[in-house]
Amino acid sequence: MISTLNSALSSAELCRQNNWQVGTQLIGADEGYGSTVIQITAIGEKKIFVKTISHNGVSPPYSGYKDHETSWFLAHREWKPLSKKSFFASLFRRK
């Protein structure tokens, strides 16, 4: 797996290199703010679109946001494919 943190590759290229496709859920830790879970909804030539599934074990704060897609830049933190085990662990992680 190619590291995403501080990568010079575009987010779309990171997805291709790591074999992440539309529907893949990724988890990334944000120091001091907890883990964020995203789901890839589109992969373009250089950019990707995602929707936020949870942040620090909590669903997005208001209705409509959960289904909101946004352009995402993967190089700001280390992202890994989400397994059910890591998802449930993120829900119960304490600060």
For the chain, the residue count is 95
pTM for the model stands at: 0.81
**Rounded distance, CA 3 to CA 44, Å?**
19
Query: pLDDT tens digit string along 34-75?
Result: 888 999 999 999 999 999 888 877 777 655 555 688 999 999
**What pLDDT was estimated at residue 84?**
59
Domain spans in the chain, listed from the N-terminal domain onward: 11-90
Instruction: Concatenate the DSSP letters of all residues of 3-72 into one string.
Output: --TT-SS-HHHHHHHTT--TT-EEEEEETTTEEEEEEEEEE-SS-EEEEEEEETTB--SSTTTTT-EEEE
When computed from its CA atoms, the radius of gyration of the chain, rounded to whole angstroms, is 13
Average pLDDT over the chain, rounded to an integer: 85
For 8, list phi and psi in degrees, rounded to 5.
-80, -10
Q: pLDDT: is 58 or 85 the higher one?
A: 58
